[in-house]
Copies of this chain bind each other. A is one copy, B any other.
Amino acid sequence: MITAQVTRIPPQRGCSFRIKRGQTLRVIDPLGEQVSDLFAFDEHDLDCRLSSGRSLDYASRIYLTTNDILYANNSKPMFTIVDDTVGLHDFLLTPCSQEMFELLYKHKGPHPSCSENLSLCLSEYGVSEADISTTFNIFMNVHIDAQGKLTVGAPFSKAGDHVDLRAEMDMLCGLTACSAEGSNNGRFKPIDFMILG
């Protein structure tokens, strides 16, 4: 019986937390079609960080799912995906940012963003925004066509879908409920997570 506490991240917000080696992070999409950006650091060495480039290289695949490993920049395993009810996540794009909304979507004025949310919630650990590179974009639907064109579609996740990531080291994590209209089928919803074990 799972008794771990569920934490809810409100729409367009983020939070940070610690996880210990051997514990499992469950990220849940409670309402469906909501992306969640994850970044992580070795708790004992902030120079050891999540790396999309290493992870894709070792997996030799763009789309990571159950049994795949998310690696750090120094090639140490950070997370193993141990369960995944969706099977489509993105590891190509950086978290949405104020500048991205202005450049890509011609947005005027302030806009909440995963980049700002991750930076804010991780700053208490001495992490700077520049240290947060490409996030693991859970539930994000980025399609690549035969010519390499990227298209962001509605997530495949339905209400209650989840992904379980087993921690392979002690880590500091940042997690968001993504702020980008285009990634969440035009609506902003919460993200739930729990730490098992």
Contact = CB atoms under 8 A, between A and B. Distances in A.
A159 interface: no
B57 A93 contact: yes
Nearest to A94: B53
Interface stretch (A147-155, A168-176, A185-193): A147-155
Total copies of this chain within the assembly = 2
Given A133-B133, A144-B144, A74 B53 contact: no
A100 interface: yes
A122 interface: no
Contacts of A52: 52-53, 92, 134
Interface SS, A side: mixed
A3 interface: no
B94 A51 contact: yes
A103 interface: yes
Contact of A53 (B58, B62, B92): B92
A106 interface: no
Q: How large is the interface on A (under 10, 10 to 19, 20 to 34, 35 or more residues)?
A: 35 or more
Interface string A114-130: 00000000000000111
Nearest to A146: B146
A62 B148 contact: yes
Contacts of A93: 53, 56-57
Nearest to A131: B130
A88 to B, nearest CB: 10
A-B pairs with lowest CB-CB distance, top 4: A53-B94, A75-B99, A62-B148, A47-B130
Interface of A: 47-49, 51-54, 56-63, 73-75, 92-94, 97, 99-100, 103-104, 128-131, 133-134, 144, 146-151
Given A62-B150, A63-B148, A74-B99, 8 more contacts: A56-B92, A56-B93, A58-B100, A58-B103, A61-B147, A61-B149, A75-B99, A92-B92
